[in-house]
Amino acid sequence: MQITTLPHLQSTYKLIKCAFPSGIEPQAYLPLLALLSEEISDRNLAEVVACYSGKDYSVVLNDVYRVQSIDVPTPEAIANLKERLFMCGYQQWLEE
């Protein structure tokens, strides 16, 4: 699936798709939101994750806010996710 209406989010979509080819696992969902929200806007993150996951945009946006305040993932969960993303070009994505 290509994001045709959001060219500025293509690389983020591809990064997520590479790391989660069968969909974002529930245990990785909140750490993914927490990690990527440090690098892109909350709304852009919610938009691309909603597009990839099929979840409603407003639900994802609220989840982004939640991981930044009351449901912060553990450092271990973030580190495990980061390792997975590095294998999919996370470093290059950070440098964009």
Say how many CA atoms lie within 13 Å of 58 toward its Cβ: 0
Cα of 40 vs its chain's centroid, Å: 9
pLDDT band for position 7 (50/70/90)? confident
For residue 1, pLDDT beyond 80 = no
pTM as predicted: 0.92
92 CB contacts (<8 Å, ≥6 apart)? Answer: none
Looking at the chain, which runs of residues are DSSP E strands?
A: none
pLDDT value, residue 6: 78
